[in-house]
Amino acid sequence: MVKTVNSVSNYNILLSIHDVSPIYEDAIISLYDSLSDIGISSFTLLIPPFYQLKGSNVFEEKDIFVDYLRSLDLEISLHGYSHTTKSGGLDEFKKLTAKRSASRLKSGIAMIRRAFGIRPFGFIPPAWQATKTVLNQVKDVGLKYCVIGNNIHDFKSMKVFSTADYVISQGDGNTSFSDIMLELELGGPLQISIHPLDFKSSYIFVALRDALDRLDYTICGYRDYLRKI
């Protein structure tokens, strides 16, 4: 049976911080403060639990930074496993075999649960790219949603919600919203994911404040959007 694709409501931005890792602890705290300063209190924390395959990037139980993130009461979702491919690419789940993707999903969930004491709410693969097999695997392991490209697959309602576009910052200061400015002016629904190092980019905060104040957008995380529809 083909699922009907519904649009995310106009004037909504689904906001996330991706690559949430201990290596970016100070940057994430600064980014949270900057988002709070412009009135954004809901967004999704996307965690690759074995980021770059480095043990130093693994969250540890009872760590002060873990306690800090838990205290924010934000959605915590799984963002791949290591975030890297064998060739060094970022689209970790785009070409994995079914066996390997299933293994990484289960290991990633276990690592987040061990450190944070909770299961991740949903799954967004690195680069927003994954196979249809991964989509079914995410449902089978009991997560609430999976995002592939512009489509948010909600396993509670069994509906698919789409956005007009998605923008993924890499934290290098070169992120531009120019490609989506027309969509913003038209009120189109968007996914925007910012990188911890974007705390240094005033342009992103100006754009988000403009979306809130002038264009009257609602900005929230995936969990909070799915819960209110």
| pLDDT tens digits, one per residue of 44-82 | 999 999 998 899 999 999 899 999 999 999 999 999 998
Average pLDDT, the chain: 92
What value does the mean pLDDT take over residues 174-194? 83
Amino acid at 201: S
Give yes or no for residue 86 having a pLDDT over 90: no
Q: Which residues make Cβ contacts (< 8 Å) with residue 162, sequence separation at least 6? A: 5, 6, 7, 8, 150, 151, 152, 189
Residue 99 corresponds to which tokens in the numbers above?
């066996």
Q: What is the pTM of this model?
A: 0.95
Share of the chain above pLDDT 70, in %: 94
One-letter amino acid for residue 191 of the chain: Q
Name the pLDDT band for 175 (thresholds 50, 70, 90).
low
pLDDT at 182 over 60: yes
Is residue 2 predicted with pLDDT exceeding 60? no
Listed in sequence order, the DSSP H helices in 22-160 are: 25-37, 64-71, 98-116, 132-140
Q: Which two tokens stand for residue 38?
A: 């412009």
Residue pLDDT, tens place only, 102-161: 999 999 999 999 999 999 999 999 999 999 999 999 999 999 999 999 999 999 999 999
Second-level CATH architecture of 5-228: Alpha-Beta Barrel (3.20)
- C-alpha distance from residue 210 to each of 55, 162, 163, 190 (Å): 39, 23, 19, 14
